[in-house]
Amino acid sequence: MKNLKQKMTGNSFLLIITVVLFLIMYGAGMVIFADKGFAKPQMFLNLFISNAGLLVMSMGLTIVMIAGGIDISVGSVTALVCMVCAKQMEQNGASAYAAVLIAIAIGLAFGLVQGFLISYLDIQPFIITLAGLFFGRGMTAVVSKDMISITNKTFLAWANYKIYLPVGSYSKKGNFIPAYIYPTVIIAILIFIVIALIMKFTKFGRSVYAVGGNAQSAMMMGLNVKRIKLKAYLLDGFLAGIGGFLFCLNSCSGFVEQAKGMEMDAISSAVIGGTLLSGGVGTPFGTVFGVLIKGTITSLITTQGTLSSWWVRIVLSALLCFFIVLQSIFASLKKKG
Partner 1 sequence: MEKIKKITSMQLFLPIVCLVAVLLINVITTPGFFKISINNGVLYGYIVDVVNRASELVILAVGMTLVTAASGGQDISVGAVMAVAGAVICQILSGGEVSVNQIANPIILAVIAGVIVAGICGAFNGFLVAKLNIQPMVATLILYTAGRGIAQLITKGQITYIRDESYQVIGGFIKGCPVPTPIFVAIIVVVITMVILKKTALGLYIESVGINGDASRLVGLNSTMIKFLTYVICGVLAGVAGWVASSRIYSADANNIGLNLEMDAILAVALGGNNLGGGKFSLAGSIIGAFTIQALTTTLYAMNVSGDQLPVYKAIVVVVIVVLQSPVFKKFMATQKARKAAAQGGGQ
What is the binding site for partner 1 (CB under 8 A)? 70, 72, 117, 120-124, 126-128, 130-135, 137-139, 141-142, 145, 256, 261, 264, 267, 277, 308, 310-311, 313-314, 317-318, 320-321, 324-325, 328
Provide φ and ψ at 168, rounded to 5°: 175, -170
Q: Cα angle vertex 324, ends 323, 326, to 5°?
A: 60
Residue 166 sits at φ, ψ, to 5 deg, of -70, -15
Nearer to partner 1, 191 or 271 (CB): 271
Smallest gap from Cβ 209 to partner 1, in A, equals 19
**Closer residue to partner 1 in complex, CB, 72/106:** 72
Work out whether strand 176-181 and strand 148-149 pair parallel, antiparallel, or are unpaired. Answer: unpaired
Minimum CB distance to partner 1 smaller for 130 or for 219: 130
Q: Which of 302, 321, 303, 320 is nearest to 312 (CA)?
A: 302
Q: How far is CA 52 from the centre of its chain?
A: 8
Task: State the minimum distance, in angstroms, from the CB of residue 64 to partner 1.
Answer: 13
Q: Between residues 208 and 320, which has the closer beta carbon with respect to partner 1? A: 320
- Supply the minimum distance, in Å, between the C-beta of residue 212 and partner 1: 14
Considering beta carbons, is residue 181 or 316 the nearer one to partner 1?
316
Give the whole-angstrom CA distance, residue 326 versus residue 15: 12
Cβ 83 to partner 1 shortest distance, Å: 12
Nearest 10 degrees: CA dihedral of 150, 155, 156, 161?
Answer: -160
Q: How many residues make up the chain in this entry?
A: 337
The minimum distance between CB 112 and partner 1, in angstroms, equals: 14
